[in-house]
Amino acid sequence: MNYTVYNSLTGEILELISISNPDMIDTILQGNSYVEGHYNATAYYIDQAQAVEKPLSPSHDYIQYTFDWPTKSWIVDSESTIQYIKQQRNTLLSDIDRVNPIRYASLVQEQQQALIAYRQALLDVPQQAGFPTDIVWPAKPTWL
């Protein structure tokens, strides 16, 4: 028989187990809460001993979400979102920093200033008022 072990306070699924002798379930699980059947923790939680489908995770370009077990809803994972944004920003910065000195010297002054301003705007992304959930990526110079 297949069973899903869960946290009785939050409904979070802890593990999936299979037991060949159902009479041994209480001995094996030692007081843990369980329901019959296998329910994937990424798609379900348990409420009143019933498997319930999680709501769909919100979709956004850069905001990362985590499932909040007490409220049974998706919330912004600020730490993961900040890490993701900084990783994206660092990739864009590395593209700029690869402009070698010879190419940089060949740029007209207006292009050099645009490159400097773009780089600084990328560095300033974490200082934007809505960071990390409401940011505006600076526009990359079209010639770059």
Contact of 118 with 140, CB cutoff 8 Å: yes
pLDDT at 105: 85
User: SS3 letters for 33-78?
Assistant: EEEECCCCCCCEEEECCEEEECCCCCCCCCCCEEEECCCCEEEECH
pLDDT at 97: 84
What's the pTM value of the predicted model, to 2 decimals?
Answer: 0.71
pLDDT at 144: 80
CB atoms within 10 A of CB 85: 20
pLDDT at 81: 95
pLDDT at 89: 96
Residue numbers of the chain with a pLDDT score lower than 50: none
